[in-house]
Amino acid sequence: MRSSSSPVALDLDRVKERARGLRGDEPMPPINEGAVEQLARARRADGRIDLRSLELSVLPYALEGLGKEELRALHIYKHLWKQGVQNLSEIKTISRATLTALESRAAIEHLEPAGRIDSDDGTTKFLWRLHDGHHIESVLIPDEDRPGPNANRYTLCVSTQVGCAMACSFCLTGDMGLKRNLTPAEICNQALQVNAQMPAGRRLTNIVMMGMGEPLHNFDNLIVALRILLAEDGLNFSHRRITVSTVGLVPRLQQLAETLPVNIAVSLNASTEEQRLQVMPITKKYSLQALMDCCRALPIPSCKRITFEYVMMAGFNDTLDDAARVGELMRDVPAKINLIPYNENPDRSIRRPSPEVVAAFQGYLSDRGFNCTVRATRGIDVSAACGQLGKTVERMASRIPLAPAAPAPQEHA
């Protein structure tokens, strides 16, 4: 295994073929620049590599010199994500000598459960302590007894950063500022460890990157995490069941759409440039027109739509004139509009529009042929609703008893 001045793409199918002995006579391909960078980002403060922050195609390069790298990589990867092991010593099929060598260079990162709060509406907010003492939150949103073949949906709202740099005026997470990016392991472990706490016969069905942080501001780690979530030997979610929400980092939005077929949600929240500048500072860098032009050009499959999230704030962006302008913005965009009545909290003077105003706004757009829905408020009594994550994280950490350790997760179907 060596660096190459002419990098070649790592072929996952080739790695798996070699792991099964189908191409065992061929040498490993030269490691490419992307794999080198992924290995570097996965290196912990103690010098060891966090194996949960690596894609399967990169994992063999972390096992250099141990022999049968591809076979070991596939074996370890399945234990990481299918069995949910928390220590290398739990992989009983690794010899003692190999385990000793592996433990000196690699580790398995997991989140420390620091508490949970259950809402009256069934929503659950999880608090996790990270290895450096920071805390993040995830929110489990059950939606049961729905009409149709998929009667039960269990959605996990996942964080991608500690805090957020976007400073949207209506979002409490921005008050924290950005502390740091989450690693791929810290992103995916939220899904892995919540799945392990689901009641028997239930498992997560949907993942939304709508927790703490701006996902596209942590792009490289996000892409690795998404590939782990999508991988058959990883967490094995369908691309139809994963949504990435963004304030509109235009170049990264284009790059995401070209890289992976996940669902995209854009946080719009205004009907004019002037409005958006007041509540979303990112508009100074990427104008509303630039954002919409980007959305029109995205390579979205015909079976999918871009979701435009619109936080409705009383007296600011909730008139029928606003609705008309939103409709105009959606011209030639494969769009669906999700209205989010603002979730009031003591830290903001912003108010929630009345149900009648929300219904009129929705009706205006629906009557003109737009797919327009209103998001049900969930978890507001435990500060788990949209825009409320992060503000109480340290307070939660100090007053909530440590959650019990989770059992080994079941394989996601």
Asked whether residue 406 carries a pLDDT value surpassing 70, the answer given is no
Q: Which of 107, 123, 157 is the last residue of a domain?
A: 107
1 in any annotated domain: no
Q: Report the SS3 class of residue 307.
A: strand
Q: Whole-angstrom distance between the N-terminal and C-terminal Cα of the chain?
A: 34
Q: Which of 85, 107, 129 is the last residue of a domain?
A: 107
* For the chain, the helix, strand and coil percentages under 3-state DSSP, each to the nearest 5: 35, 15, 45
Here the CATH number for the domain that contains residue 253 is 3.20.20.70
Asked whether residue 227 carries a pLDDT value surpassing 60, the answer given is yes
On whether both 318 and 187 belong to a single domain, the answer is: yes
412 in any annotated domain: no
On whether both 292 and 377 belong to a single domain, the answer is: yes
The number of distinct structural domains making up the chain is: 2
Asked whether residue 340 carries a pLDDT value surpassing 90, the answer given is yes
Q: In which band, very low, low, confident or very high, does the pLDDT at 393 lie, cut at 50, 70 and 90?
A: low
Asked whether residue 360 carries a pLDDT value surpassing 80, the answer given is yes
In whole angstroms, what is the distance from residue 152 CA to residue 203 CA?
A: 10
Asked whether residue 133 carries a pLDDT value surpassing 50, the answer given is yes
On whether both 213 and 297 belong to a single domain, the answer is: yes
84: left (phi over 0), alpha (psi -120 to 50) or beta: left
410 in any annotated domain: no
What's the pLDDT score for residue 77? 96
406 in any annotated domain: no
On whether both 209 and 309 belong to a single domain, the answer is: yes
Which of 67-81, 355-369, 386-400 is the least confident region?
386-400
Average pLDDT estimate for 226-255? 97
On whether both 116 and 24 belong to a single domain, the answer is: no
CA angle 405, 411, 413 (to 5 degrees): 135
On whether both 79 and 194 belong to a single domain, the answer is: no
What's the pLDDT score for residue 321? 98
Which of 18-27, 169-178, 372-381 is the least confident region?
18-27
On whether both 222 and 320 belong to a single domain, the answer is: yes
Instruction: Give the global pTM.
Output: 0.88
On whether both 216 and 262 belong to a single domain, the answer is: yes
- Residue 37: active-site member: no
Q: Which of 58, 79, 107 is the last residue of a domain?
A: 107
Pick the catalytic residue: 55, 70, 109, 137?
137
345 in any annotated domain: yes
What's the pLDDT score for residue 122? 86
Q: Return the closest-CA partner of residue 69 out of 54, 81, 84, 82.
A: 54
Q: What does the mean pLDDT of the chain come to? A: 87
Say which residue, 304 or 409, is predicted with more confidence. 304
On whether both 266 and 330 belong to a single domain, the answer is: yes
The one-character DSSP state at 382 is G
Q: In which band, very low, low, confident or very high, does the pLDDT at 162 lie, cut at 50, 70 and 90?
A: very high
Q: In which band, very low, low, confident or very high, does the pLDDT at 381 lie, cut at 50, 70 and 90?
A: low
Asked whether residue 57 carries a pLDDT value surpassing 80, the answer given is yes
On whether both 206 and 179 belong to a single domain, the answer is: yes
Q: Return the closest-CA partner of residue 266 out of 286, 285, 242, 249.
A: 249
In whole angstroms, what is the distance from residue 390 CA to residue 258 CA?
A: 31
409 in any annotated domain: no
In whole angstroms, what is the distance from residue 173 CA to residue 170 CA?
A: 9
On whether both 72 and 160 belong to a single domain, the answer is: no
213 in any annotated domain: yes
Average pLDDT estimate for 116-133? 91
- Residue 294: active-site member: no
152 in any annotated domain: yes
The CA-atom distances, in angstroms, between 310 and each of 138, 323, 326 are 22, 10, 9
On whether both 91 and 51 belong to a single domain, the answer is: yes
Domain containing 318 equals: 112-399
- Is the CA virtual torsion 131, 234, 214, 122 positive or negative? negative
What's the pLDDT score for residue 173? 87
